[in-house]
Amino acid sequence: MPLTRSEVHVDQALSNLSIAYAQEQERFVSTKIFPSLNVNHMSDRFHIFDKANYLRSNADLRAPGSPTKGANYTLSTDTYSCKEYGIHMNIDDTVNANADAGLDIMASTTRYITEQLLLKRDQVFAATCFKTGVWTGSSTGTDIGVGSGITTAWSAAGGTPIKDIQTQQDAVESKTGRRPNTLLLGSDVYTALRDSDDLLDRVKFSERGVLTTDLMAALFDVERVMVAAPIVNTAHENATATYGRVFDPDDALLCYVPSAAGLMTPSAGYMFSFTGVSGAYQFEGLRTLRYRQDAFHSERIEAMAAFDFKVTGADLGVFFNECVA
């Protein structure tokens, strides 16, 4: 009787292949929108120069022998308040010792724990800033949508997203003196714009007619176009998975943000990152640790972050609500 396959080979886990539905870290956008400011306290105040007084010119003619006209600006304060988030996973010593080489168990666990916190951070940003009722910089002073600032949905024939966005840029600039330079697109908005004749007609003779975010930025006259693409399972553990987008796919946010935080620097928002806890911080305020848990005979992989996404200039942003059909 000839040898069988099972007699000459015992199945083992591959050392060069495993499958995990990890999302690329570039898909997480929360730390890319607002400037990040490291802070030494979980909460504090910051000064605000009154816009109305600052943008009013009180300068006047001076008659010979007369003093110049006096003027004053006024100040107020606002606060930030960081909240701390964290997660960990324990790796039992026997599990670690018995794990197949292909798992690279410590590195795999570190990536898993890190991504858990990156995902949470995007969820917090979306719930705080990527929603209706926050931004006031538009031509109407409220959220823009079909029938209110948009005549035709951007996904429909005859849609005019370039004109619609430029109209709202003009509105913000007329209120603040700052022209929006950042556009964050929900995933369905991005897909619709890639197929929009309004955009394609302007690039059809360049770059093989393929619309990239860089080309969109040039067309919309902004510095950056980003796509809010992360997905999340919102079901509880052991329940049937329910997958969806972290950011509403039909919405978009247009805002002005400076290249960095600084004194007398207006911005649609800031990300305040508390760095007072000892340890190395990565990913703009995210801390990862590995340490012993002798009581559990385990190594613990842990990630922590304390932050606050604070809208500091509601008039420097415009929210497009349900701008595609």
**Domain contains 185:** yes
**Domain contains 72:** no
**Domain contains 70:** no
**Domain contains 156:** yes
In whole angstroms, what is the distance from residue 80 CA to residue 312 CA?
A: 10
**Domain contains 50:** no
**Domain contains 10:** yes
- Total domain count for the chain? 1
Neighbours of 293 (CB within 10 A): 14
Contacts 24+ apart (CB under 8 A), 200-208: 202/162
pTM, two decimal places: 0.90
Phi-psi region for residue 147, left (φ > 0), alpha (ψ -120 to 50) or beta?
A: left
Structural domain for 103, as ranges: 5-38+84-320
Check residue 203 and give its pLDDT: 83
For 93, half-sphere exposure in the C-beta direction (CA atoms, 13 angstrom radius) is: 8
In whole angstroms, what is the distance from residue 155 CA to residue 152 CA?
A: 8
Q: Nearest CA to 313 among 172, 183, 168?
A: 172
Q: Nearest CA to 288 among 123, 118, 63?
A: 118
Q: What's 307's domain CATH number? A: 3.90.1690.10
Full pLDDT tens readout for the chain, 325 residues: 776 666 556 666 666 666 777 788 888 999 999 999 999 999 999 999 999 988 889 899 999 999 999 988 899 999 999 999 999 999 999 999 998 888 889 999 999 999 999 999 999 999 999 999 999 999 999 999 999 999 999 999 999 999 999 999 999 999 999 999 999 999 999 999 999 999 998 887 765 667 899 999 999 999 999 999 999 999 998 999 999 999 999 999 999 999 999 999 999 999 999 987 655 445 557 888 899 999 999 999 999 999 999 999 999 999 999 999 8
**Domain contains 127:** yes
**Domain contains 56:** no
